[in-house]
Amino acid sequence: MVSRARDWMRQALRDISHAEHSLKVGDYEWACFAAQQAAEKAVKALYESMNMEVWGHSISRMLENLPENLKPDNVLIDKAKELDRHYIPTMYPNFHSEGAPVDYYTKNDAERAIMYAREVIEFCRSKGL
């Protein structure tokens, strides 16, 4: 089977670039979502590089389930948990009791999500990607 790890990482890098663009134009909910997607794809690239299959969208769960010699510290896992919270609420108006996602995300949220996603990406790259 051909490894798709590089493809996953290339898309992760493209997604983080999209997150930064969304931040610049004030689309903070999309910046948070794209940051979450970037981190998720980077972790999936890491799994793929080890010929391991992984399913789901929880970055923190995927990081916690890495082999012991590859697991990150709890600080990064906590940052991943924050990114996990951007998967659904950034996209769907019916997640919140009223208003659309655009009403709930700030520049600070987007900056933090991008920073955390970059840390996850760099962690994955440091493992040989």
- pLDDT digits over 16-63, tens only? 999 999 999 999 999 999 999 999 999 999 999 999 989 999 999 999
pLDDT per residue over 105-118, tens digit each? 999 999 999 999 99
Instruction: Find the domain containing 19 and state its range.
Output: 5-125
Instruction: Report the CATH number that the domain containing residue 49 is assigned in CATH.
Output: 1.20.120.330
Instruction: For the chain, give percent helix, strand, coil, nearest 5.
Output: 65, 0, 35
Average pLDDT over residues 1-16: 93
Look at residue 75 in the predicted model and tell me its pLDDT: 98
- HEC per residue, 16-52: HHHHHHHHHCCCHHHHHHHHHHHHHHHHHHHHHHCCC
- pLDDT number for residue 92: 94
Tokens of 35: 């940051």
Q: What percent of the chain has pLDDT over 70?
A: 99
Please tell me the predicted confidence (pLDDT) of residue 1.
Answer: 63
In this predicted structure, the answer to whether residue 2 has a pLDDT above a threshold of 80 is no
Residue with tokens 């996990």, as numbered in its chain: 84
With CA atoms as reference, report the closest residue to 120 among 11, 42, 17: 42
User: How many domains, the chain?
Assistant: 1
Could you give the CA distance from residue 98 to residue 71 in angstroms, rounded to a whole number? 39
